[in-house]
């Protein structure tokens, strides 16, 4: 277990907003990639984590932030949540090596019927990472209803809970597409919160529309610094 997987002495109550970052693939984008910005190179990722550490940020899980928002839990002075969408190998091999240097857990939003194998996910759960659902197959949820929507939202959570014995209390909307019916399905499935890709700091006032900063390749430390400064109150 990494240090910040559990509350530490000196952490304080923190009802206020918390920044959440989202990374997609880590590594070099293939030349044919349509959206190369979704790839952050490993050196760039590492520089961003070093910068956060030097700025005094400390990563925690989203569960921990929610415990502070809703149940009087505590957080470090400058908390941040670092999330990884879809489930790519480097997110559970390279990223944990870097985060663990600082005692930081990450949050993996896994597409439960694609991407990583259980044997690839278990090591990060051992480190104290949070593993949550990013749906079963990454469809646009606003185009689904009834049992199809239930399957993507609720069955994907049941799968993670059964397979890994983790709470999976948070959901991640595929491609940040959601509407009132999607939010209702997420609540119905028992989730505590859900994340978007709307830029901003996540606030306890909007538990099913938690903002995140999408970190793109090439924007580097300056881009990250500008994001964090833009949302700071």
Query: CA-to-CA distance for 226 and 169, rounded, in angstroms?
Result: 30
Nearest residue (CB) to Zn ion, 75 versus 210: 210
Query: Of 86-94, 143-151, 211-219, 221-229, which segment contacts Zn ion by CB under 5 A?
Result: 86-94
**x-marked contacts with Zn ion along 44-83 as a string, rule CB under 5 A:** ----------------------------------------
Whichever of 33 and 230 has its CB closer to Zn ion, that residue is: 33
Closest of 103, 59, 101, 98 to residue 77, by C-alpha: 59
85 binds Zn ion (CB under 5 A): yes
Q: Output the smallest distance, CB 168 to Zn ion, in A.
A: 16
Nearer to Zn ion, 2 or 38 (CB): 38
**Which of 67/160 has CB closer to Zn ion?**
160
Closer CB to Zn ion, residue 85 or residue 227? 85
Residue nearest to Zn ion (CB): 85
Of 4, 86, 152, 170, which lies in the binding site for Zn ion, with binding defined by CB under 5 A? 86
Which residues of this protein are in contact with Zn ion, per CB under 5 A? 85-86
């Amino acid at each position: 277990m990494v240090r910040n997987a559990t509350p530490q002495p000196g952490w304080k109550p923190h009802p206020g907003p918390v920044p959440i970052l989202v990374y997609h693939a880590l590594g070099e984008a293939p030349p044919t990639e349509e959206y190369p910005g979704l790839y952050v190179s490993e050196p760039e990722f590492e520089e961003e984590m070093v910068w956060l550490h030097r700025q005094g940020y400390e990563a925690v899980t989203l569960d921990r932030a929610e415990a502070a928002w809703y149940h009087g839990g505590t957080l470090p002075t400058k908390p941040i949540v670092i999330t990884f969408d879809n489930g790519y190998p480097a997110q559970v091999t390279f990223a944990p090596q870097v985060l663990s240097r600082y005692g930081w857990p990450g949050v993996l939003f896994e597409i439960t019927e694609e991407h990583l194998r259980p044997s690839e996910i278990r090591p990060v759960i051992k480190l104290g990472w949070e593993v949550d659902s990013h749906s079963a197959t990454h469809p646009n949820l606003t185009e689904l209803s009834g049992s199809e929507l239930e399957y993507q939202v609720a069955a994907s959570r049941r799968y993670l809970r059964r397979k890994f014995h983790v709470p999976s209390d948070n959901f991640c909307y595929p491609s940040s597409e959601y509407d009132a019916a999607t939010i209702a399905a997420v609540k119905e499935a028992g989730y505590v919160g859900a994340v978007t890709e709307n830029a901003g700091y996540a606030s306890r006032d909007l538990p099913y529309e938690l903002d995140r900063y999408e970190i793109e390749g090439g924007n580097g430390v300056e881009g990250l610094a500008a994001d964090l400064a833009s949302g700071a109150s």
